[in-house]
Amino acid sequence: MEFPKDFRWGAATAAYQIEGAATEAGRGPSIWDTFSRTPGKVFAGHTGDVACDHYHRYPEDVAIMRELGIGTYRFSVAWPRVKPDGTGPVNPRGLDFYDRLTNELLANGIEPMLTLYHWDLPQGLEDRGGWTSRDTSYYFAEYALAVHKRLGDRIKLWTTLNEPWCSAFLGYAAGVFAPGHTDVQEGLSAAHHLLLGHGLATAELRHAGAETIGITLNLAPVVPADPQDPAELDAADRVDAMLNRLFLEPVIKGAYEPYAKQMFSDGVVLDGDEAIIGQPIDMLGVNYYNPNLVTARPGAPENPVYPGSHGVDFRPAPGKTTAMGWPIEPWGLTELLERLHRDYPGLPLIITENGAAFDDVHSDGNVADSDRISYLEEHLRACHEAISRGVDLRGYLVWSLLDNFEWAEGYRKRFGIVHVDFDTQARTPKDSARWYAKVIERNGL
Ligand code: FCB
């Protein structure tokens, strides 16, 4: 099963999840530093203070990638390293790290893909309203430009935001992620300002000459219990509107759907905003983990992460799940990719994250993770199927290169294809890493 020539094979990480060095070289605090220190928010009080110590061990991590044959590495830049307070002067020592990392990647023949925002908002900006404040969108564009100024000569692939749905609704509406607020209107306002920030940053990057610009969204099919039943279809559609279309429509078509637009309080979406959000992009990053299974249940309360979801219940997975309890449904990826291809034709796609947490089995110094291998293999088949049906899919990046700080789950959920011993910081490629190296070498399964 061969993949197209030039298909990108890679791995992804995010700054707060792996870097550590939380106070080094002038880095300011982010909302995740604050959140992880708030009792009861993150499993066992884990923080990203040390994480995988990638800040110091990046040469070893790049060497591992090279050994595995990884061609593209997606990482994120920590805004509070670059602008410790979120705005104001650039901290060149913070950018030095990404300069070193970029050079190390290029020297090893690995293409860097840079994400500007993977959830670590400078605490200084949160103190002024965070993503519920319109100013944050403009500060984000300024920060994006500062990063481009330093690295734009070497970075070709740019991603503005990672999963704005999570930042907005898990962070501001459900309170399970930083900054931990629980207000649906704040969630919506954050979503809009994230999108506005994406548009403003895209315009700046484009003007500065960035080659390929995109955004990474967490997308998933929303599946009703009975596709013949209008009430079920309506339940699924209202969740889909908030999970998928709230982001896809303005980014790709430059306009919110009327249903989504009337959700916002007055004064949040200003004239001209949607046109800014709809700046042309070159590639859409897709993060896929599982479909969303829903059913209509009159009287069910609104789920704050899907505004307007009154009367909708979420169904448990019928089949196997990962250690996160997430359903394993690779067909959902084929379906999603085909839908994107159909609804937004002409936009190249790349899987910027796909992977799974499992409880790894250790034996004789090896980490046997056959569950992960099956997961990855099935999802790669799903990608191949989509490609064979005409989808313009340009690459696949596994989440994640390393076991890391899995947000509210701390270090207890392991997504890596490389095992990390958090006591010694020893790295051990798991069986899945060896398997993936073969896939890359063959350019297929
Ligand atoms: C995604 C995040 C990523 C990681 C995976 C498991 O939502 O982008 O940082 O935590 O989930």
Distance 262 CA to ligand 1 centre (A): 29
User: What are the φ and ψ backbone dihedral angles of 252, each rounded to 5 degrees?
Assistant: -95, -35
- For residue 12, the CA-to-ligand 1 centroid distance in Å is 10
Number of continuous H segments (helices) and E segments (strands) in the chain: 17, 15
Digit-coded pLDDT (tens) for 254-284: 999 999 999 999 999 999 999 999 999 999 9
SS3 172: helix
Structure tokens at 323: 């250690």
What number does the ligand 1 atom closest to the CA of 413 have? 6
Q: What is the pLDDT of residue 279?
A: 97
pLDDT grade for 89, boundaries at 50, 70 and 90: very high
Q: Ligand 1 pocket check: which of 287, 289, 324, 411 to mutate, most ligand atoms within 8 Å of Cβ?
A: 287
Q: Answer yes or no: is pLDDT of 160 > 90.
A: yes
Give the nearest ligand 1 atom to 324 CA. Answer: 6
Q: How far apart are CA 325 and CA 157, in angstroms?
A: 32
C-alpha–C-alpha distance, residues 172 and 188, integer Å: 8
Residue 201 has pLDDT above 90, yes or no: yes
Mean pLDDT in residue range 324-333: 97
113: left (phi over 0), alpha (psi -120 to 50) or beta: beta
Those residues whose C-beta lies under 8 Å from the C-beta of residue 262, and which sit 6 or more positions away, are none
Q: Which of 376, 407, 411, 417 to mutate to test the pocket of ligand 1 (most atoms within 8 A of CB)?
A: 407
pLDDT of residue 117: 99
State if pTM tops 0.85. Answer: yes
Which atom of ligand 1 is the closest one to the Cα of 216?
Answer: 8
32's tokens: 């995740």
Mean pLDDT of 380-404: 98
Residues of the chain with pLDDT > 90: what percent?
98
The average confidence (pLDDT) of the chain is 98
pLDDT, one tens digit per residue, over 297-315 is 999 999 999 999 999 999 9
Helix (H) or strand (E) holding 393: strand 393-399
The closest-lying atom of ligand 1 relative to the alpha carbon of residue 17 is 9
Which string of b and e fits 386-411 if b means at least 16 CB within 10 Å? bbeeebbbbbbbbbbbbbbbbbbbbb
Dist CA 118 CA 78 (whole Å)? 8
DSSP β-ladder status, 222-224 and 292-296:
parallel
pLDDT beyond 90 at 217: yes
Residue minimizing CA distance to atom 9 of ligand 1: 14
How much is the average pLDDT of 89-111? 98
Question: Which pLDDT band, with edges at 50, 70 and 90, does 317 fall under?
Answer: confident
Residues with a catalytic annotation lie at 163, 353
* pLDDT tier for residue 365 given thresholds of 50, 70 and 90: confident
413-419: average pLDDT: 98
Domain ranges (residues) in the chain: 8-442
Pairing of strands 427-429, 418-420: antiparallel
Query: Residue 364: its pLDDT value, please?
Result: 86
Tell me, letter by letter, the H, E, C secondary structure of 245-264.
HHHHHHHHHCCCCHHHHCCC
CATH topology of domain 8-442: TIM Barrel (3.20.20)
Q: Ligand 1, from 54, 167, 399, 400: best to mutate by most atoms within 8 Å of Cβ?
A: 399
Specify the pLDDT at position 241. Answer: 98
pLDDT of residue 152: 98
Q: What are phi and psi of 357, to 5 degrees?
A: -95, 135
CA distance 151 to 243: 32
Query: How many angstroms separate the alpha carbon of residue 383 from the centre of ligand 1?
Result: 19
Distances from the Cα of 88 to the Cα of 32, 83, 91, 139, 258, angstroms? 21, 7, 9, 9, 37
Estimate the crossing angle of helix 184-208 against helix 134-151, to 10 degrees: 30
User: How many whole angstroms from 229 Cα to the centroid of ligand 1?
Assistant: 33
pLDDT classification of 38: cutoffs 50, 70, 90: very high
**pLDDT confidence tier of residue 61, bands split at 50, 70 and 90:** very high
Instruction: Decide if 177 contacts 408 (C-beta within 8 A).
Output: yes
CA of 177 to the centre of ligand 1 (A): 12
**Is residue 363 scored above 90 in pLDDT?**
no
Q: What percent of the chain has pLDDT over 70?
A: 100
Whole-number Å distance, alpha carbon 289 to ligand 1 midpoint, is 9
Distance of alpha carbon 83 from alpha carbon 33, whole angstroms:
15
| Tens-place pLDDT, residues 170-189 | 999 999 999 999 999 999 99
Residues contacting ligand 1 via CB (< 6 Å): 14, 17, 162-163, 166, 218, 287, 353, 399, 406-407, 415
Q: What is the pLDDT of residue 197?
A: 99
Relative to the CA of 407, which ligand 1 atom is closest? Answer: 10
